[in-house]
Amino acid sequence: MELKDKVVVVTGGTAGVGYAAAEAFARAGARTAVISRDAERVRRTVAALQAVGGDVHGFALDVSDSAAVQRAAEEIETRLGPIEVWVNNAMTTVFGRFADMKPEEFERVTANTYLGTVWGTHAALTHMLPRNRGTIVQVGSALAHQSIPLQSAYCGAKHAVRGFTNAVRCELVRQKSAVRLTMVQLSAFNTPQFDWARSYLEYNPRPLAPVFAPEIAARAILRAATQPRREYWVGWPAMKTIIGSRLLPRLADAMAARQAFDGQMSDEPSPPRDGNLFTPVPRAPGAEGRFGAETRATSAQWWITSHRLAAAVAAAAGVLVLLWAVGTV
């Protein structure tokens, strides 16, 4: 699908993967609507992306408010035109043991990360189904397949998004609808969430290594929007985690217990912090977090996924060269 002049909505589009995706859609010529609950960061995001030539519009609202999401969709349709792509990316998390969490914290993560996706999907389908076209992209995680310690609410929400998405996809298949529903399951990315999420840890949270640049995720989201399929896995860690959880679930749990506990903590001591769970934390818009020194700008796994023909040709050429070498020995 050609993105130029198409209307694309990105929730959570003022920071991290959402910002990178919004910028990528804008650069591709899409009329991009950015949704976030932080009105000031929405304003600054729109200004920054318009400065690079993007046709970008901002909408300040909390995606856990179903009525507000529906109103935003109506306004986008009225102001910008038919919504062709809706990207559900907004999320919050809490770093800490489940036993330390308060009920209202678990509820808030669930409302933002899971129900925000549900309401976004419903708003998009309200407009896409009558036209029988459109694509909804759910930004997921390897944690939608394999949970890890210290993020129980987030893992639960991402699992719920995957189950919900599969159910709705079955309904679309039953209806023979041309609307497409796809998920992008990510590895760990260098985003600001580790600086502003609520935390009960004794050390500053960090992404599980290896860490990738948000632009890789943005390219995957664009591909999912233009060439949708059931799921895209982005990064070797996501691929390894998902396959491991399917084939050897008990081993996957044991490895998560052993590696993902300390692996989510930096060596920087930090007292518990409130973070952005209930209210936004002031911060400039942008995709990058503070882990640039270790961030990988490329992913061989994603290159192979997005260049299957070239990868197959290269593999075949390698086999031929090997056979020729063996034949000349």
Distance CA 111, CA 37 (A): 13
Task: Please say if 154 is a catalytic residue.
Answer: yes
Picking from 192, 190, 105, 93, the residue whose alpha carbon sits closest to that of residue 150 is 93
Which of the residues 19, 154, 200, 232 is marked catalytic? 154
Report residue 307's pLDDT band, with 50, 70 and 90 as the boundaries: confident
Distance CA 119, CA 122 (A): 5
Q: Evaluate if residue 23 carries a pLDDT over 70.
A: yes
**142-157 residue pLDDT tens:** 999 999 999 999 999 9
Burial class of 208 by CB neighbour count within 10 A (0 to 12, 13 to 18, 19+): middle
Sequence spans of domains, the chain = 7-298
Q: Could you tell me the sign of the dihedral formed by the alpha carbons of 215, 216, 221, 223, in that order?
A: positive
**253-284 residue pLDDT tens:** 999 999 999 999 999 999 999 999 999 999 99
Picking from 60, 63, 58, 185, the residue whose alpha carbon sits closest to that of residue 121 is 63
Tokens of 11: 């929730």
**182-210 residue pLDDT tens:** 999 999 999 999 999 999 999 999 999 99
Residue 328 identity: T
Distance CA 274, CA 277 (A): 7
Q: How far is CA 104 from CA 41, 94, 100, 110, 153, in A?
A: 25, 11, 12, 10, 11
Picking from 231, 228, 49, the residue whose alpha carbon sits closest to that of residue 128 is 228
Distance CA 225, CA 228 (A): 6
Q: How far is CA 83 from CA 30, 88, 268, in A?
A: 11, 13, 44
Distance CA 89, CA 254 (A): 29
* CATH 3.40.30.10 given to domain 7-298: no
Report residue 306's pLDDT band, with 50, 70 and 90 as the boundaries: confident
